[in-house]
Structures are given as C-alpha cells and as structure tokens.
Amino acid sequence: MRELQAKIIQEMGVKPEIDPAEEVARRVQFLKDYQLATGTKGFVLGISGGVDSTLGGRLAQLAVDELRAEGHESDFVAVRLPYGVQADEDDAQLALDFIQPTTTWTYNVKPGVDGLQDEFRTTTGREITDFNRGNIKARIRMVAQYALAGERGLLVLGTDQGAESVTGFFTKFGDGGADILPLFGLNKRQVRQVVKHLGAPEQLWAKVPTADLLDDQPGRADEDELGISYEHIDDYLEGRQIPADEAEKIEKRYLATRHKRTVPVTVFDEWWR
Ligand SMILES: Nc1ncnc2c1ncn2[C@@H]1O[C@H](COP(=O)(O)OP(=O)(O)OC[C@H]2O[C@@H]([n+]3cccc(C(=O)O)c3)[C@H](O)[C@@H]2O)[C@@H](O)[C@H]1O
Ligand SMILES: Nc1ncnc2c1ncn2[C@@H]1O[C@H](COP(=O)(O)OP(=O)(O)OP(=O)(O)O)[C@@H](O)[C@H]1O
Ligand SMILES: [Mg+2]
C-alpha cells in the first residue's frame, strides 16, 4: 500500500469491509449518547434526496425513536432546503417517506441566496460566479439549520463521510459546518450498503451523487466535477490498489484540502508548513 494511503485510511477511519447492522447500531448509539451527554433536545438535518442525507436522517430518526421509548424528550427535524423548486423534489419526498421524521419543515434558501447575490453586485460592481454562488447556497443551508437548532436546542448533523472528506469535496462552513458527523468512517459504497440494509428503495441508494449547487449545470454528477470516480476513491479508502494516476489525484486533493478538515489555523499550528 502507498505510504500516504495508509495514513489517509487511518485518518478517515474507513474499514475494508463492514457489517451494516453493526454500523447502524454503533452510529445510532453514538447519536443517543451524544444527545444525552449534551442535554440537547434532538437533531436537525437537511434532506436533499441524496443518499448521504437519507442515511443520516434515518439514523437520526432511529435514535430519536429509541430515546423517546426510553422516556427522553427528543425530536428530529428533517428540513427540506430547496433553492426555489428542486428538480429532483420527488427523490427528496421519497427520502422523507423512508425516514419517517417526527418533524418535517421546508425552508426555502432562495431569498437568502438571491439577497446575498444582489448585495455582492452592489458591493463589487460584478456578477458573482455560478460556482461561488453554489457555495453560498451550501452556506445558507448551514445558516438555516443553525437557526432551527438554536431555536429548539437541537444539534446540527453533517453528512460528511470518507469519500467526501478525503477529497475535501464539501463547502467549508457550508455542508462542512455541523456539530456531529454520524456517517464519518464510511466510504460512499458503504453508505449505500447501510441505506440498502435499512430498507430504502433502490431509487435512493442507487442515486448518482450530486452537490447540485450550480444553476448552469443542474444535477451535475460529483464524479464529473471531481474527475475521479467514487469506485476508485472507495477502493483507495479500503486499502486496495488503484491506478497510480488516480491515487495521485486523490492525494493531491487530500493535501490541498487539509485546511477544511481542521479548526481554523492559529500561530500554534505547524501541520501546514
Ligand atoms: N490553504 C488554505 N488554508 C486556509 N483556508 C483556505 C486555504 N485555501 C483556501 N482556503 C479557504 O477556503 C475557501 C475555499 O473553500 P470552499 O469555500 O469550500 O470552496 P471550494 O473548495 O473551492 O468549493 C467547494 C467544492 O465542494 C463541492 N461541494 C460543495 C458542497 C457540497 C458538495 C456535495 O458533494 O454535495 C460538494 C463544490 O462542488 C466545490 O467543488 C477559500 O475561499 C478560502 O477562504
Ligand atoms: N436541496 C437540499 N435540501 C436539503 N438539504 C440539502 C440540499 N442540498 C444539500 N443539502 C444538505 O447538504 C448535505 C451535503 O450534500 P451532499 O450532496 O453531499 O449529500 P446528499 O445529497 O445527501 O448525498 P449525495 O452526495 O449522494 O448527493 C446533504 O446531505 C444535505 O444535508
Ligand atoms: Mg447531493
């Protein structure tokens, strides 16, 4: 195995194979223990219709069901955060049907995003790029979830998992901004495996991953933007050998995005030198 690969696998905590039932039990227990230890009242998570939030949402609801059955106060707020009308709204509704959340809300991020876009133009005299605006969408979703969390004493869940973490394929302080990460340690195919094990319909577990942040290219596949396949990323994280040029692409992204996987850098930090 490549030297950096071994280091990355240790940091990402990905196992070469998993027992889905064991992963569900461990992660539901983690959510329950964390809620009880912090004295909070439950969880909030944006549900996009993608496979990561489908799993994160279902695990949260399973934790809430168990906490309630044990006599604790607990709520899971599943929040739809569309930018106006979402093209794959059907998938989001299917995810909600599967998750069965105690509470479902819809919080349209369009007015917030458009307001910032207008003020960007006023401030700079220029039109914001579609790419940069995509990151604003992800950050406004974070703001909306923290508004709900602050009001109700909830924890914001994040859906960061191994394949996204290693490539830094998330918006810093956007979808990367969360309190706890119940999927961390799984790669993308393991997320699918666990969702399938929990009984989600194929339309959800087989869905092509998309950040879906661009107006110019709606539903653009992550793999297209990344230029690396999830098959290769997953194999790499399971310790398998992949073509050297693909491994180099992953490692280049890993090194360039270290700043996203740490708390803000201070004068005491040396890791970046
Ligand atoms: N070396 C360094 N040390 C400390 N900070 C550094 C830095 N380099 C950049 N930065 C900061 O980081 C910022 C760039 O990071 P960021 O704002 O995240 O922007 P960036 O990484 O350029 O873009 C986010 C990427 O994540 C993808 N994404 C986003 C959201 C969801 C998903 C998904 O899979 O669903 C994917 C999105 O498609 C895009 O490719 C810079 O503007 C700068 O402020
Ligand atoms: N339209 C949306 N509505 C609600 N939440 C969203 C929306 N888009 C993104 N999110 C939130 O941002 C997170 C990161 O997006 P990401 O695309 O990585 O995950 P996903 O859509 O759940 O799965 P996939 O990566 O397979 O598309 C989501 O898990 C979800 O919590
Ligand atoms: Mg998505």
| ipTM (interface predicted TM) | 0.99
In whole angstroms, what is the distance from residue 15 CA to residue 190 CA?
Answer: 9
Average pLDDT of adjacent 10-residue blocks, the chain of 273 residues: 97 98 98 97 98 98 98 98 96 98 98 98 98 98 98 97 98 97 98 98 97 96 97 98 98 97 89 83
Q: How many Å separate Cα 256 from the centre of its chain?
A: 20
CA neighbor of 28 nearest in space, from 38, 36, 18, 39: 36
Spell out which residues line ligand 1, taking CB within 6 angstroms. 135, 138, 164, 169-172, 174-175, 211, 213, 222, 225, 259, 265
Return the residue whose CA atom lies nearest to atom 29 of ligand 1.
170
Which ligand lies nearest the alpha carbon of 227?
A: 1
Which ligand 1 atom is at minimum distance from the Cα of 138?
A: 30
Which ligand lies nearest the alpha carbon of 266?
A: 1
36 CA distance to ligand 2 centroid (A)? 26
Spell out which residues line ligand 2, taking CB within 6 angstroms. 45-48, 50-53, 80-82, 86, 141, 159, 164, 175, 209-211
Q: Residue 62 in contact with residue 28, Cβ under 8 Å?
A: yes
In whole angstroms, what is the distance from residue 230 CA to residue 226 CA?
Answer: 9
Catalytic positions are 52, 164
Q: Which helix (H) or strand (E) holds 80?
A: strand 75-80
Q: Which two tokens stand for residue 231?
A: 């098959």
Sequential DSSP letters for 95-127: HHHHH--SEEEE---HHHHHHHHHHHHHHHSSP
pLDDT for the residue 162: 97
CA neighbor of 172 nearest in space, from 256, 53, 114: 256
Buried b (16+ CB within 10 A) or exposed e, 51-72: bbbbbbbbbbbbbbeebeeeee
In whole angstroms, what is the distance from residue 202 CA to residue 270 CA?
Answer: 46
pLDDT for the residue 271: 81
